[in-house]
Amino acid sequence: MSQVKALILRAPGTNCDVETAFAFEQAGAVASLVHINQLIRHEQRLGGYQIMVIPGGFTYGDDIAAGKVLANELRLKLGEDVIRFIEGGGLILGICNGFQVLVKAGILPEPTDGSLSKLTLTSNDSGKFECHWVHLEVDKKSPCVFTKGIDRMYLPVAHAEGKVIAEPEILPRLNVVLRYADKKGDTKAGYPHNPNGSVANIAGISDSSGRVFALMPHPERHIRGSQHPQWTRQPGKKYGDGFKIFANAVKWAEGL
């Protein structure tokens, strides 16, 4: 069986690409850093990969709105390629800025349902950049490929525009995978447990297939136990809470 290939998409302002590539390599994949222009010029093709990732950062300086410029490039210049990739069984992961991009490109909540203007991410209620660790509860009923076998996670957030807002009619149809919670697992806990004010404490969503997933927290920043802020005071763990997200993706892609 050939090794799983993960494309880590880059654009001006991307700054979590190397960490994300490392996480996939630790999970057994071959990770390639690919600039958006390489796809537009067809120097690289999505069809040569099983996983595409839009990592964190501030693409194009988050001008206009966070992730908007890269989202427009994906939608207008690579839209057909992305749809073909999804229909072919490929996995897509968006982390932080990647979440913003996937939503604003209309790839989430569903690639073809016309919800482009009904769901978005906007400025945190706190009015400031939030950078700390959060507890997350996983919806076990979700079809999300990336979170299989995970009950809860403790991951860092680092964003200024992470608040999920949606028109009332779309909320019941969202496939919510992750919700912000407190230490006891209360998914209605307010700030700072919910760092941005997201409706219904939403921290991550997927499409109905479970193969397109995006989240605001950073799993690539907690793939080793020693990356936990209290690792010296807790029993040693080889892997951090975020690692299984990458391991799940690679395991799934091995069957493609």
Catalytic residue among 159, 218, 222, 228: 218
- Give, in order, the Cα–Cα distances in Å from 218 to each of 46, 73, 82, 118: 24, 23, 23, 25
Could you tell me which residues are beta bridge partners of residue 179?
Answer: 137, 202
218 classed as catalytic: yes
Amino acid making up residue 206: S
188: DSSP letter = T
Instruction: State the alpha helices, DSSP H only, in the chain.
Output: 17-26, 36-40, 68-77, 79-87, 97-104, 243-253
Catalytic residue among 96, 130, 135, 228: 96
Report yes or no: 69 and 60 within 8 Å, Cβ to Cβ.
yes
Give the torsion through C-alpha atoms of 198, 207, 184, 196, to 10 deg: -20
Residues 199 and 99: their CA atoms lie apart, in Å, by 15
Residue listed under structure tokens 């207008």: 76
Catalytic residue among 73, 159, 220, 222: 220
220 classed as catalytic: yes
Active site residues: 96, 218, 220
